[in-house]
Amino acid sequence: MDLGIRGKRALVCASSKGLGLGCAEALAAAGVDLVMNARGAGALEAAAAAIRAKHGVDVVTVAADITSEAGRAAVLAKGPFDILVTNAGGPPPGMWSDWARDDFIKALDANMLTPIALMQAVLPGMMAKGWGRVVNITSVSVKAPVPVLGLSNSARAGLTGFVAGTSRQVAGKGVTINNLLPGIHATDRAIALDGAVVKARGISMEDAIAERSATIPAGRYGTAAEFGAACAFLCSQHAGFIVGQNILLDGGATNTTM
Ligand code: NAP
């Protein structure tokens, strides 16, 4: 399917690896020029070079912490953008009793206030042009809590509330905002969480992965490529009537009827 977005320009945050990279790849495959971002320059440059070579699109890299004001200013200076994909690392796991105010502030900064600041920066330009697409990478924890990820549960719920209202305010100008909610995907993040289980329970990594896979009706972890394809569709011309949605990509793991 032609997504109808060849020649558009996208900012894909936190995109040297994992789900962000999956989104960058899928947008590049649709002919979208990219600004890619991550903190570490090595993996970022390697990912950008591979995308340029494979898809022939223009790729600008900005090595910066997207959760800092200076980092956001550095990526936003590469605008304007037709498409924004927000993403950042997820907060660490723990117990509800572990976290103090500073831990919450850090999680809110990374997973709520950063995507909100990025949207506030790019929405006026998109609305003036009469076209824009925003996809926020959030988490399955928005629909069903992941108890050990209390910081994520909290911060992402706040972002979801902001998007619910704001998406309705900008839709009339041709701009859509939606959230993609990953369940378990085979990325460094998932492996790190599996590693914590291995350590806590003294089981093997294979057993930890098999146990988690057994909780997913699809029987496996998702891939970054599948995730990216869903993101690219939400950024396409065809998705202009999808507004303010929270779309689960979890292999059926969240046991809800709607
Ligand atoms: P990942 O494989 O660990 O990749 C994270 C990417 O983000 C890397 O490119 C990393 O590069 C970059 N990054 C991290 N913090 C950053 C920052 N402050 N500024 C700029 N770039 C940053 O993670 P993932 O699995 O793709 O997860 C992406 C998001 O989805 C996370 O918020 C995660 O919590 C959420 N999620 C993932 C899953 C899953 O199963 N994978 C499930 C639910 C939710 P640098 O380290 O070099 O900066």
Per-residue pLDDT tens digits for 1-47:
999 999 999 999 999 999 999 999 999 999 999 999 999 999 999 99
| Predicted confidence (pLDDT) at residue 190 exceeds the cutoff of 90 | no
Number of H helices, E strands in the chain: 9, 7
Whether ligand 1 lies within 6 angstroms of the CB of 179 is answered as no
Q: What is the pLDDT of residues 122-145, one digit of tens each?
A: 999 999 999 999 999 999 999 999
Whether ligand 1 lies within 6 angstroms of the CB of 22 is answered as no
Whether ligand 1 lies within 6 angstroms of the CB of 20 is answered as yes
pLDDT at residue 147, as a whole number: 93
Distance 128 CA to ligand 1 centre (A): 31
pLDDT at residue 127, as a whole number: 98
Testing ligand 1's pocket by substitution, the residue of 34, 36, 39 carrying the most ligand atoms inside 8 A of its CB is 39
Give me the torsion for CA of 49, 51, 54, 55, rounded to 10°.
Answer: -130
Sort 223 into a burial class: Cβ within 10 Å, 0-12 / 13-18 / 19+. middle
Local confidence band at 78 (pLDDT 50, 70, 90 cut-offs): very high
**Cβ atoms of 10 and 33 closer than 8 Å:** yes
Distance 97 CA to ligand 1 centre (A): 24
Q: What are the angstrom distances between the C-alpha of 162 and each of 21, 40, 57, 175, 195? A: 25, 29, 32, 15, 33
Local confidence band at 193 (pLDDT 50, 70, 90 cut-offs): confident
Distance 188 CA to ligand 1 centre (A): 8
The Cα–Cα gap between 242 and 35 comes to 24
pLDDT above 90 coverage of the chain, percent: 95
| Predicted confidence (pLDDT) at residue 191 exceeds the cutoff of 90 | no
Whether ligand 1 lies within 6 angstroms of the CB of 251 is answered as no
The Cα–Cα gap between 116 and 12 comes to 15
The Cα–Cα gap between 135 and 199 comes to 34
